[in-house]
C-alpha cells in the first residue's frame, strides 16, 4: 500500500516536470517568434508588407510563397546575404535586388525565420 502511494506521487512529480518542460519550450518558441515579428516589421515589412503579401511586381510575397515552400532551407541565407537575379514566385517574375543584412546576428535571423514560417507558411493561414 505504501509502495503504491509512493508510485502515485512519483508519477505525479514526473508528469508535472514533463508538463512544465513542454510549457517552457512553448513559451520560449513564442518569445522567439515575437522577437522575430519585431525584427520583421523593422527589416522586412517595408518591402514585403506586414501581411507578407509583397508589393506589386517589385517585391515578391512571402505568404504562401511557392518559392519558399520549395526551398525551405533558403530563407536564412536570403536574409543574411540578400538576393539578386530573376525569380518566379507564385507565377510572377521578380527581378530586383534584395539587400543583405550584415548587422543581424544569426540568432536574430533564426527568430525572423521562425516568425516567417509560423505566420506565412503554416497551413492554418
Ligand atoms: C528593399 C526591399 C527588401 C527588403 C527590406 C527585404 N526584401 Fe526580401 N526580397 C526583395 C526583393 C526585390 C526580392 C526578389 C529578389 C530577386 O529578384 O532575386 C526578395 C526576395 C525575398 C525572398 C525570396 C522570394 C520569396 O518571396 O519567397 C524571401 C524569402 C525574402 N525576400 C525574405 C525577406 C525577409 C525575411 C526580409 C527581412 C529580413 C526581407 N526579405 C527584406 C526585397 C526586399
Q: Is the CB of 109 inside a 6 Å radius of any atom of ligand 1?
A: no
**Are residues 48 and 62 in contact, defined by beta-carbon separation less than 8 angstroms?**
yes
Q: Read off the pLDDT of each residue in 74-87 and give the average, rounded to a whole number.
A: 97
pLDDT of residue 44: 98
Q: Please report the pLDDT score of residue 124 as a whole number.
A: 53
pTM listed for this prediction: 0.86
Q: Is 31-121 assigned to CATH 1.10.760.10?
A: yes
pLDDT digits (tens, 9 = 90+) for 3-47: 788 777 777 777 777 777 778 888 888 888 899 999 999 999 999
pLDDT of 74: 96
Ligand 1 pocket residue status of 67, Cβ below 6 Å? yes
**Mean pLDDT of the 89-97 span:** 97
The pLDDT assigned to 23 comes to: 84
C-alpha to C-alpha distances, 85 to 17, 26, 54, 88, 93, nearest whole angstrom: 51, 38, 17, 10, 10
Percent helix, strand and coil across the chain, each to the nearest 5: 60, 10, 30
Q: Is the CB of 68 under 6 A from ligand 1?
A: yes
Confidence of residue 116 (pLDDT cuts 50, 70, 90): very high
Considering only CA atoms, which residue is closest to atom 2 of ligand 1? 47
Ligand 1 nearest-atom number relative to CA 39? 38
Amino acid at each position: 500500500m505504501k509502495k503504491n502511494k509512493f508510485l502515485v506521487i512519483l508519477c505525479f512529480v514526473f508528469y508535472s516536470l514533463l508538463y512544465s518542460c513542454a510549457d517552457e519550450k512553448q513559451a520560449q518558441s513564442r518569445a522567439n517568434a515575437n522577437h522575430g515579428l519585431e525584427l520583421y516589421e523593422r527589416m522586412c515589412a517595408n518591402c514585403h508588407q506586414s501581411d507578407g503579401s509583397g508589393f506589386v511586381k517589385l517585391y515578391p510575397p512571402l505568404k504562401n510563397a511557392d518559392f519558399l515552400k520549395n526551398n525551405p532551407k533558403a530563407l536564412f541565407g536570403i536574409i543574411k546575404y540578400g538576393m539578386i537575379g530573376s525569380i518566379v514566385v507564385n507565377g510572377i517574375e521578380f527581378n530586383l535586388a534584395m539587400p543583405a543584412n550584415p548587422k543581424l546576428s544569426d540568432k536574430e535571423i533564426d527568430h525572423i525565420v521562425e516568425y516567417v514560417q509560423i505566420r506565412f507558411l503554416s497551413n492554418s493561414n
